[in-house]
Amino acid sequence: MKAIWNGTTLAQSDTTVVVEGNHYFPKASIRAEYFRKSDTHTTCPWKGEASYYDIVVGDQINKDAAWYYPDPSDAAKQIKDHVAFWKGVRVTAE
């Protein structure tokens, strides 16, 4: 799977974890130069507290376009150290 935004591959992995229709990429598969930590946090009733990254490609910023669970609940432990995408980031098997 690949995560692509503005023609740039942000992450690529053969071993994503799918939860609620979202592909979670192993943290080791992301291209860290495009990720900037955000101050945004949200809470999922069953996964726990999510943290976010802004995606930065050139002079374009996609605020809070990637999220992860630094300390997921036991029910979501399979997504620890994984990152998922939204806000126009295309996740594809191409």
**33 alpha-carbon distance from chain centroid:** 14
Q: Which tokens sit at 74? A: 């036991």
CATH of domain 2-92: 2.170.150.40
The set of long-range contacts for 9-13, using a CB threshold of 8 Å and a minimum separation of 24, is 10/34, 10/35, 10/55, 10/66, 10/85, 10/89, 11/83, 11/85
- Name the pTM for this structure: 0.96
CA distance 82 to 24: 5
Each residue's pLDDT expressed in tens, for the chain with a length of 94 residues: 999 999 999 999 999 999 999 999 999 999 999 999 999 999 999 999 999 999 999 999 999 999 999 999 999 999 999 999 999 999 999 7
Locate the domains of the chain by residue range: 2-92
Report the candidate in 84, 75, 89 with the shortest Cα–Cα distance to residue 42. Answer: 84
Q: Which tokens sit at 58? A: 């050139």
